Structure 1
């Protein structure tokens, strides 16, 4: 449903994307990850026909984004990092307006607005000005506006930035429901948990190039290591434990959760060594275990790795 073949974009000699190639099957969710400036938004802008590529080829819903831009626009929905809503008018009026702009007759546009208001649980605020909406409500309304005419492909550019955990979960549920209905979703995000929960596959961009591509589990396996994680009774013991394990490998700590983790290249052997050293320190432990790497750890390792031009 989405195909990129050596897609390249440069601005004044500065490369934003270089030879980016990947595909997104129909009805699946792809998470596009990368640091700020990695090229995520540029990719979405090209795929949604907002800017042309410098080189390479891209097709969306079977249409070339350059030569068949009108056909692409007729088959996609897009939400950017900022909601594209009129703050003065009501939520219902916004959706009706988007329906009219998409060519729906007046009655059909109003009927579709009512359907989306119910689907996105905005009944209580539908006739209030959008300026009175919370961040989560505005984001839900913005996504609803992109669905006035159900698209084959939906582009979501960091749709949950700035939302509270409850509102973020609501957006996740919406994305999952759309994919279940056969809508293909390309999602850019900086929330690694979001990508892990929602995506069928992940592409990591680094300086405009594809650093890694696969499912979350496939990317986790690429790191080639598990981790030994120690949960301490006292936060004050974290520094001592970090110092005691520093010579093993890749030690990290999380004061909020009272944990220290170390890469366990020897698996159970590393676990046994960590147990011996913490016992010698005499610190209190809540738990000690081996675990797979988190997507955060995978992202940090793969997105900062040197890329071959």
Structure 2
């Protein structure tokens, strides 16, 4: 058996893109070339790696067994290629996924410090909701995920990372801002502006706040935190977001944070596939994340202690 790295690269790309056409475009190959490489690999292994469903290819159990090994071999071959071509203690490209709040409020500063301390500058950052980040980690499209949503996935290592505080915010002229002391009952019959399904912020609302309210209504569902802030600032409803995300709007007097008798601390998580090959670069980044001591981390700890 003589399996080529080219065949494994085609296999991994097809597994991620799900169609021959999309894989061919990503690899800058013709569709016949991709189909032939995949067929040759399946013939050499003596097993089909995908179930065919019209034009889509769904990875089967045999393909799932091969995927982490193929990903590791490709990563190791890339390490070898770049071993003598880059300066510094670590080489390679790091593919990072972050959910919305973490990706916009935390990860840029994490990367700034990592680049400064390690000298490594070849990273990509993909921002989406927690569910999509988990899916991409499962397909080996990302090396590591930094998310705020609660994660339950047997194939992922889920490590507690930073702390966060959630807050209920509204327009400064909202009637609730006039109350001297608020209770949860004051939130009854309120209109809410929420993130989309799959978002950690939405799941936090549904898991922690919504069960304590008998009557509430979703006024808007948006997939962008800044859009939620603007709709809330326009007086269209209440929202539940990270304190980090709304701080700038509070300073600009566009939003007010309501003081409620409810502990709304939450956890950020560091994720990676359990079968993912951990290159020296990935190991270094994981260790850096775990010991990162920026002002943001200090803020999180102070919030948790108060």
Q: TM-score range by the shorter chain?
A: under 0.3
Higher helix share: 2
- After TM superposition, the score normalised by the length of structure 2 is 0.25
Q: Structure 1 or 2: larger strand share? A: 1
